[in-house]
Chain A
Amino acid sequence: MTSVVLSTHNLTKHYGSGSTRFDALKGITLDIRDGESLAIVGKSGSGKSTLMHILALLDQPSGGELMVDGTDAATLKGKKLNLLRNRTFGFVFQQFFLTPNASVLDNVMLPLKIARIGSRERKRRAMAALTQLDLVDKAKNKAVNLSGGQKQRVVIARALVNNPRIIFADEPTGNLDSATGAVVEDILFALNKEQGITLVVVTHDDELAARCDRRLYLHDGLVVDAVDGPTSKKKTVHA
C-alpha cells in the first residue's frame, strides 16, 4: 500500500456571498497516492481548476479539510508554504504563463532562481530538463518565438526542473493539436512511470483521462464517479 500525499475531506469552495454566492465545490473527499496518476474530469465550469488550485495550495478552501503528507494545510503559512510550493509541486497551467521576452532557458530556470540555487547549478539543471524535452537547441530563443507544442514542452520542463513530487497539469493538451498533444501526454506519463512523480491531470479529454491510473468525474462541484485502472491502451506517438 503506497502512502497518501494529498487527502481532502468534505472540501468546499464558494465565491461571493449573499445573492451572488456561487458554490464551486460542494464537498469533495479524495485521496491522492504517492506515484499514481489521477485524472480530474468534468465539463467546463464543473470546478476542476478550482479543485486543482486548492490541492496545489494556491487557493484556500472555504470549508473542509486538506492534508498534505499528514499535515493540515490550514496550518501551512509563510515560509513553509512557499517552500512546499517551490520544492514539492510543479505546475503546468491551462495557459502557458511564459515570460514572452525572456529566453527559454530563463523561463525554465525561474523556479530554481526562486529556490535560491546558484547560477551554475541552475543552468546545469535547466539544461538537463531541456535535454529531456528535446529543446536544447531552443534554449537561447525567446519564449514568444516558439510554436504552441514547444511552449507546452517548455512549461513541462519548468514544472519538472526542481524535481517535484507532484506535477499538476491543467488541460496540458488543451491548446495543442492531437498529434502534439499525444507527444506532451507521453512525456508526462513517462515522468510518472520512470521518475515516480505523482501526476494530477485536469482534463475534459476522455482519451487522456483513460490513460491515468484513476479518474474522478466532477459535476457541479461534486465527485459523481471514480474509476480505477487505465481503460485504454497506450497511444502511439506521432512526432
Chain B
Amino acid sequence: MKALDILTTAIGNSFRSRLRTTLTVIAIFIGAFTLTITNGLGAGINDYINTQVASIGAPDVMTVTKPVKATTATDGPAKYDPATASRVTSGRPGASTLELTDTDIAVIGAIKGITAVDKSVSVRPDYIEWQSAGKYVMSLGQFGSGIKIDLAAGKQFTAGTTALEVIIPTTYVATMGFANNAAAVGQTVAIGITDALTTQTSIDATIVGVQNTTLLGSNATVNSALKNALYAAQSVGLPASSTTQYASVVAHFDGTATKAQIATIKKDLVTASYEGTTVADQIGTFQTVIDGIILVLNAFAVIALLAAGFGIINTLLMSVQERTREIGLMKAMGMSAGRIFGLFSAEAVFIGFLGSAIGSGIAIAVGTIVSRVLARTLLSNLPGLHILSFTIASVGTVFLLVMGIAFVASVLPASRAARQSPIDSLRYE
C-alpha cells in the first residue's frame, strides 16, 4: 500500500465505528483544549511582562549598590566607625545600603565588562504645567534609563541628545489639558523644582511621547539631559559632600552581553563588595512564579492527555480485534507487517489530530473572545494585557504532543496487529 492509501484507509477505518472514535476524540479534545488554554495564559501574561520590562528598563544596565555587611538579627548593633560612610536605607525593605562616592564609581567603572557608570540621582520635581492650564504634581518613574517605552503616541527619547525631553503617561493627558494623546506630543511643558534654599525654578522640556500605564503605576519619564538639568537645579545651595554621595549608581554594559557574561560582572561586583541588580532580575522572579503556575496547569492538561492516550489504546485494541480477519486477509494478499502497523498507527494519529484540531480550534476561539472581553472590562486598567495569547509555535507544540501521544498509544495495538499470522487471523471466528 502506498503511504497515501494507508492514510486514507486509516481515516476511513476510524470513521467505521463512529461512536467509539467520537468518544476517544472527546477525551483528547479535553486535554488539547486545556493545554492550549494554559499555554495561551502563560504566553499572554509573559508577553505582557516582557513589554513591561522593556518599558521600565534597558537590558544593558544594572543598578549597583553597596550593601552593609550582613548582620544577623540576634547580633547587637555594629560598632560605630566615623570613617565609614553614612548609611542610607533603600532597596528592599529592611536591607540597608551604604552611600556610594566618586571613589566607588571609579572602582565599579574599572570592573571588566562595565562600559560606563552613571550617578543615579533622585530628582523630585514639584509640578508639571502646560500653557498655564494648571500645575499638577509630577512623579518620576523609578527607572529612568529605559530605552524602549510602551508608547500610546509619539516616539522614544532621541539617543544622545542634549535637548530636554519628557514622556508622560496617558493618565496625565486629559488632566493637563491636552485634547488627546497625539495633541500632547511636541508640546513644551514647564517643570517646577525647588532647591535647597527653597527657591522654586522652572525648566522647559518637550513632550516626545505618551506612555501606556504600566504595572508599576503611571509615572512620567525624563531623559538624562533633563534629569541632569533638574538635579543641578535641585542641588543649588547644598554642601558639596551631599551632592557627591549616591544611594546607587547605574552601571552600563554591552547590550549584547550573554547571561553568563552578566553573571560574571555581578560576581566581580560582589567580590568588590557591591551588588548589581538588572531589571530582568527584578521582573524575573515574578516571571518565575508565573512560569511555575503555568507548568502546574500544563501538567494537569498533560495528565488529561495521558488518560486520553489509554482511551486510544483501548479503541485500537478493539478495532484490531474486530478486524482480525481483515488483517489476516491483507497479510494473505501480501501486505507487509510494517504497513499493517502503519495502518493502525495512522488511525491513532488521525484520531489525535482530530482531537487536537477541535480542541485547539475551540480553545483559540473561546480564548480570544474571553481575552477581548476581559481586556475591555475586568482588566481594562492594564492596557496591553491580553490574558490569553496563542502563537503558532505553542499551538503547533500541542498538536505534535497530542499526535505523539497518540502514536505511542498505538504501538501496542498496532504491533499486535502486525504480528498476527495470516492463518490464525483467517481461522478466527
Contacts and interface: CB of A to CB of B under 8 A. Distances in A.
Contacts of A110: 329-330, 333
B334 interface: yes
Contact of A99 (B326, B331, B333): B326
B238 interface: no
B12 to A, nearest CB: 8
Given A53-B423, A59-B423, A97-B325, A116 B334 contact: no
A116 B156 CA distance: 64
A101 interface: yes
B2 A59 contact: no
B81 interface: no
Given A59-B423, A84-B334, A85-B334, A113 B16 contact: no
A118 B258 CA distance: 56
Given A58-B422, A97-B426, A82 B335 contact: yes
Interface size classification for chain B: 20 to 34
Contacts of A99: 326
23 contacts: A56-B332, A58-B423, A58-B426, A79-B336, A82-B335, A83-B334, A84-B334, A85-B332, A86-B333, A86-B335, A87-B334, A91-B332, A93-B329, A93-B426, A97-B328, A99-B326, A110-B329, A110-B330, A113-B5, A114-B1, A114-B330, A114-B333, A114-B339
Nearest to B426: A93
A179 interface: no
B244 interface: no
B419 to A, nearest CB: 14
A115 interface: yes
B335 to A, nearest CB: 5
B50 interface: no
Question: Is chain B's binding surface mostly helix, strand, loop or mixed?
Answer: helix
Nearest to A114: B335
Interface string A80-121: 011111110001010101010100000000110111100000
A114 B426 contact: no
A134 B5 CA distance: 27
Contacts of A53: 423
A78 interface: yes
Interface of A: 53, 56, 58-59, 78-79, 81-87, 91, 93, 95, 97, 99, 101, 110-111, 113-116
A55 to B, nearest CB: 12
Interface string B1-42: 110010001000000100000000000000000000000000
B330 A59 contact: no
Contacts of B426: 58, 93, 97
| Smallest CB-CB A-B distances: 3 pairs | A86-B334, A85-B334, A82-B334
A91 B325 contact: no
A111 B326 contact: no
Interface of B: 1-2, 5, 9, 16, 325-326, 328-336, 339, 421-423, 426
A88 B304 CA distance: 49
Given A58-B426, A113-B1, A101 B334 contact: no
B244 to A, nearest CB: 86
Contacts of A79: 336
Nearest to A168: B332
User: Which residue, of A85, A95, A101, A114, has the highest number of chain B Cβ atoms within 10 A?
Assistant: A114
A118 B16 CA distance: 24
Contacts of B423: 53, 58-59
Given A97-B325, A97-B426, A82 B336 contact: yes
Contacts of A97: 325-326, 328-329, 426
A85 B333 contact: yes
Nearest to A78: B336
Given A58-B426, A59-B421, A83-B334, A101 B16 contact: yes
A100 B423 CA distance: 20
A116 B2 contact: yes
A85 B1 CA distance: 14
A27 to B, nearest CB: 20
Nearest to A118: B2
User: Which residue, of B2, B5, B326, B333, has the highest number of chain A Cβ atoms within 10 A?
Assistant: B333
B201 to A, nearest CB: 88
Contacts of A91: 332-333
A99 B325 CA distance: 9
Given A58-B422, A82-B334, A85-B333, 7 more contacts: A59-B423, A84-B334, A86-B333, A97-B325, A97-B426, A110-B329, A113-B1
Contacts of A95: 325
Contacts of A78: 336
Contacts of B335: 82, 86, 114
A115 B334 contact: yes
Contacts of B336: 78-79, 82
